[in-house]
Amino acid sequence: MKTIKCCLTNPRQNVLTVYAVIPLILVGLLGQVCAFAETVTNPRQTRGLLDLAPLEADFKLSPPSGTAPLQVSLDASASWGAAIASEYKWSISDGQELEGELIEVIFEEGGTYTITLTVIDLAGNTATAEKTITVKDEDTALVHLEIQGLKRRYAVGETLVLELVELVESTRFERFDLWVAVQLPNGHLLFRTPLPMTPFSSQPQPFKTSVDNSTKTHRLLDFEVPPGLGGEYSFYAVYVEEGKDPINDGLFVQRSNLALKKTTLANE
């Protein structure tokens, strides 16, 4: 970098010189920022720098279920934030530990597996995201649930859309009940009912009963966020043994993965 020596002795001239140099310094800094932004290959990372949004982890898995041995693609490109992500670390409940933005994994045996992504940015900040995948053996039923469409946070006036995707491939000898619930900021639970006029109730009950084979997408919520509902909301969905109550009977009656998503609504 070149050094410019100033030999002016008049204080007023020195002040004017400083004021004249400041814009040049700013232009130089902006030029460096632009040059840095041009080196970013992922557009979402540049957006994060400009928006100064917090680092967020998110990923896609494809396919979300299947028969063992099952090869699955994990893609963390949906992650973004204020600083550029430098590391992507994956932890799978079967003991696999992997790194990379886009990876392939193989599940050799049937079961429900939890996949956790940890994103680390250049400043050392971390963010995590977690999803489950259901892998079935040849002679077992495939029962899988996935909650889609929910963002991490919503401002007042934004539209919240929540969908539940269910996939059941079973025999006529196996039937399941589908339970869906939302936990409010005060900790209370509301259960989705099959009644359109009263879609939620504080009374524990299943959303669907005696399900054997089903591939459907249910739109559970679709509304504009009003003021006064601020706080964190958690959404749950699970298949259980027909006629059983997961609230009282516990995990022993669970027959699918537990689909879970959380979001935070602004209060005003």
Tens of pLDDT, residues 113-149: 899 999 998 888 899 998 888 887 776 667 888 898 8
Residue 145 structure tokens: 């649930």
Question: Are residues 130 and 157 located together in one domain of the fold?
Answer: no
**Do 28 and 117 share a domain, yes or no?**
no
* Listed ranges 6-10, 21-25, 150-154; the one with the highest mean pLDDT: 150-154
Confidence of residue 202 (pLDDT cuts 50, 70, 90): very high
| Predicted pLDDT of residue 66 | 83
Predicted local confidence at residue 139, as pLDDT: 64
CATH number, residue 94: 2.60.40.10
pLDDT higher than threshold 70 for residue 1: no
Predicted pLDDT at 71 = 92
Task: Looking at the structure, tell me whether residues 151 and 267 fall in a common domain.
Answer: yes
Domain boundary among 119, 140, 161: 140
Residue 3, in any domain of the structure: no
What is residue 127's three-state secondary structure?
strand
Q: What is the mean pLDDT of residues 167-178?
A: 82
Burial of 20 per CB tally in 10 Å (0-12, 13-18, 19+): exposed
265 or 108, greater pLDDT:
265
In a domain, 53, yes or no: yes
**CA 4, chain centre distance (Å):** 52
Tell me if 1 is assigned to some domain. Answer: no
Residue 66 domain flag: yes
Question: Of 108, 140, 172, which residue sits at a domain end?
Answer: 140
Residue 227: pLDDT band by 50, 70, 90 thresholds? very high
- The verdict on residue 34 lying in a domain is yes
pLDDT at residue number 84: 63
Say what the pLDDT of residue 92 is. 94
User: Would you give the distance in Å from CA 161 to the centre of its chain?
Assistant: 14
Same domain for 69 and 31? no
Q: Is residue 176 part of a domain?
A: yes
User: pLDDT band for position 3 (50/70/90)?
Assistant: very low
Residue of higher predicted confidence among 86 and 17: 86
* 18/76 same-domain check: no
Tell whether 94 and 50 lie within a shared domain: yes
Residue 4 lies in a domain: no
Verify that 231 and 153 share a domain, yes or no: yes
Q: CB of 90 within 8 A of CB of 96?
A: yes
CA-based end-to-end distance of the chain: 49
Strands 259-265 and 126-136: unpaired
- Kindly state whether residues 16 and 72 are assigned to the same domain: no
pLDDT tens readout for residues 89-110: 999 998 999 999 999 999 988 8
Indicate whether 112 pLDDT > 70.
yes
Neighbours of 121 (CB within 10 A): 20
pLDDT at 119: 92
Rounded CA-CA distance 101/92 in Å is 15
Residue 5 located in a structural domain: no
Shared domain check, 261 and 213: yes
**Burial of 18 by CB count in 10 Å (0-12 exposed, 13-18 middle, 19+ buried)?**
exposed
**Domain match, 31 and 101 both:** no
| pLDDT at res. 266 | 94
> In 3D, which of 102, 184, 151, 161 has the Cα closest to residue 261?
151
Domain that holds residue 30: 11-39
Q: How far apart are CA 56 and CA 33, in angstroms?
A: 22
Residue 24 shares a structural domain with residue 53: no
**In this structure, what DSSP letter does residue 196 have?**
S
Instruction: Name residue, tokens 């269910």.
Output: 166
What's the number of domains the chain is made of? 3
117 and 178, same domain (yes or no): no
Q: Which residue has the higher pLDDT, 163 or 172?
A: 163
- Residues 207-219 have a mean pLDDT of 88
Higher pLDDT pick, 215 / 53: 215
Average pLDDT, whole number, for the chain?
A: 79
Amino acid (1-letter code) at residue 223:
F
Strand-pairing partners, residue 103, are 74
CA angle 252/257/259 to nearest 5° reads 120
* Helices and strands, counts by H and E, the chain: 3, 18
pLDDT score recorded for residue 252: 85
Helix (H, G, I), strand (E, B) or coil at 267: coil
pLDDT digits (tens, 9 = 90+) for 47-95: 444 345 678 888 999 988 888 888 999 999 888 765 566 799 999 998 9
